[in-house]
Homo-oligomer: A and B are copies of this chain.
Amino acid sequence: METLDNTGTHKTDKVSILERAALRRVLAMLGNPPIEIVLWSGEVIGTDHGTPVARLWIHQRRNFLRLLYRPDLYFGEAYTSGEIDVEGDFVKLLEYVDPLEQASARRRLWERFKLKFPQLASHTLARARDNIHHHYDISNAFYQLWLDPELVYTCAYFPTPTTNLEEAQQAKMDYVCRKLRLKSGETVVEAGCGWGALTRYMAKHYGVKVRAYNISHEQIVYARERAKKEGLSKLVEFIEEDFRSITGRYGAFVSVGMLEHVGKAHYVELGAVIDRCLSSSGRGLLHSIGRDRPMPLNAWIERHIFPGAYPPALAEMLEVLEPGRFTVQDVENLRLHYVRTLEHWLARYEGASEVVRQMFDETFVRSWRFYLVSSIAGFQSGSLQLFQITFNRADVNELPWTRRYLYENRQPRAPL
């Protein structure tokens, strides 16, 4: 409640000694980063370290202390609601705040408990559908505004830093096919196929038959239509089911950007599915956002963007593969490629923000901006990783002699 004191100014305008001290302490903990903070009273808490890279406006005292104490959750909420604003380098600002987020993540007992006992936070099939629906069924038109024309919503692979997004997504799909050593006529199963870009790519460029699973209704409808238009209906089949429903046996298993949504409690199940469906000479590829050690997902992202998601540490990803005695052949960390991918997405998103505002509202615009910006900061600071794991059965000796073949011809393959 705002009240007027006898000087006529708002009581809430004053910054208390406690508030100022708390802020200064937090800034000191972060090593006094070059950030300028403009408080609701107009008071500026500056930096002693040269020109600030960003200015943070805190428009109101409400939620100020919880912003300091739980930035992992409340920074995003305050930005989305307009209680705070950022001028200057938003990514850099979030990178500076990152240690604070990590510290508060470690404080969250319930989160750490869930890490130890993942079955308590396990995704039933119904929960999995809800979680996926929340994010991926927003509207295809929305994603078309800022993804590449093939609608690839996972980390791209940039053969050179100046490759554009379309080419980088093509290059990523080709890279995945090379890592899988796909041979024309083979069968492939894809778990979590998004809008079907990789499915179509594998069929079109490598002549394989693909069965692709996804529980997002909107995506499956789109994927089917597009495959039909491109004359690929005989080679690809889209199934609106969870990975647990996969049947049949295949020469290759691929999953790009699904593991983040599976939940640790189900890694063994996923491993059993791969074991069941992979032929004796089969190869597999798992591509997932990850961590350099186990840590809960950022609380704001979990609540507002990806309910139920969890980016695993590399050792946790291996829990999928160890029980089935799969052999890891290759692991590549593409973290900086995700920074680049997200920068492209953000630029396109900002270019289309007026349309997004009309489709949804200002809160939505800010919320998705924060999600993209904080993801860039996460990959940039090394708080998030992108692991691509290639594996096969233990006794497969038909392997490329070195990884050199992956780099011999930089051009993605022409359609067959």
> Interface on A for B, CB 8 Å cutoff?
157-161, 292-294, 313-315, 318-319, 321-323, 325-333, 335-336, 380-383, 385, 387, 393-397, 399, 401-404, 406-408, 410
Contact B315 A319 (CB under 8 A): yes
Contacts of A158 in B (CB 8 A): 401-402
Contact (A382, B394) CB under 8 Å given A328-B314, A331-B331, A333-B330: yes
| Residue of B with least CB distance to A332 | B330
Alpha-carbon gap, A404 to B178, bound state (A): 14
| Residue of B with least CB distance to A330 | B332
| Residue of B with least CB distance to A290 | B328
Contact of A327 among B382, B393, B397, B404 (CB under 8 A): B382
Instruction: Please name 19 further chain A to chain B contacts, defined as beta carbons within 8 Å, in addition to the given A157-B402, A158-B402, A402-B407, sorted by A numbering.
Output: A159-B402, A160-B401, A292-B394, A293-B322, A313-B318, A314-B328, A315-B318, A318-B318, A327-B333, A327-B335, A328-B331, A328-B385, A330-B332, A332-B403, A336-B399, A336-B401, A381-B394, A403-B406, A404-B407
Contact A403 B403 (CB under 8 A): yes
Alpha-carbon gap, A76 to B348, bound state (A): 65
Contacts of A323 in B (CB 8 A): 293
Contact B397 A325 (CB under 8 A): no
Contacts of A399 in B (CB 8 A): 336
Alpha-carbon gap, A382 to B328, bound state (A): 11
Between A and B, 21 residue pairs with Cβ closer than 8 Å are: A157-B402, A161-B401, A292-B321, A292-B325, A292-B327, A292-B394, A293-B322, A293-B323, A294-B322, A314-B328, A315-B315, A315-B319, A318-B318, A330-B332, A331-B331, A336-B401, A380-B397, A381-B395, A382-B393, A383-B394, A403-B407
| Residue of B with least CB distance to A389 | B331
Closest beta carbon of chain B to A79's beta carbon, Å: 24
| Residue of B with least CB distance to A410 | B404
Alpha-carbon gap, A380 to B395, bound state (A): 8
Contacts of A403 in B (CB 8 A): 332, 403, 406-407
Contact A328 B322 (CB under 8 A): no
Contact B293 A325 (CB under 8 A): yes
Contact A333 B329 (CB under 8 A): yes
Contacts of A293 in B (CB 8 A): 322-323, 325
Contact (A385, B314) CB under 8 Å given A293-B322, A336-B399, A394-B292: no
| Residue of B with least CB distance to A98 | B395
Contacts of A292 in B (CB 8 A): 321-322, 325-328, 394
| Most chain B Cβ neighbours within 10 Å, of A333, A399, A410 | A333
Closest beta carbon of chain B to A359's beta carbon, Å: 35
Give the top 8 A-B pairs by smallest Cβ distance, nearest first. Answer: A382-B394, A331-B331, A315-B315, A315-B318, A404-B407, A293-B322, A292-B327, A382-B395
Closest beta carbon of chain B to A379's beta carbon, Å: 10
Alpha-carbon gap, A387 to B318, bound state (A): 14
Contacts of A382 in B (CB 8 A): 327, 393-397
| Most chain B Cβ neighbours within 10 Å, of A292, A319, A323, A335 | A292
Closest beta carbon of chain B to A110's beta carbon, Å: 22
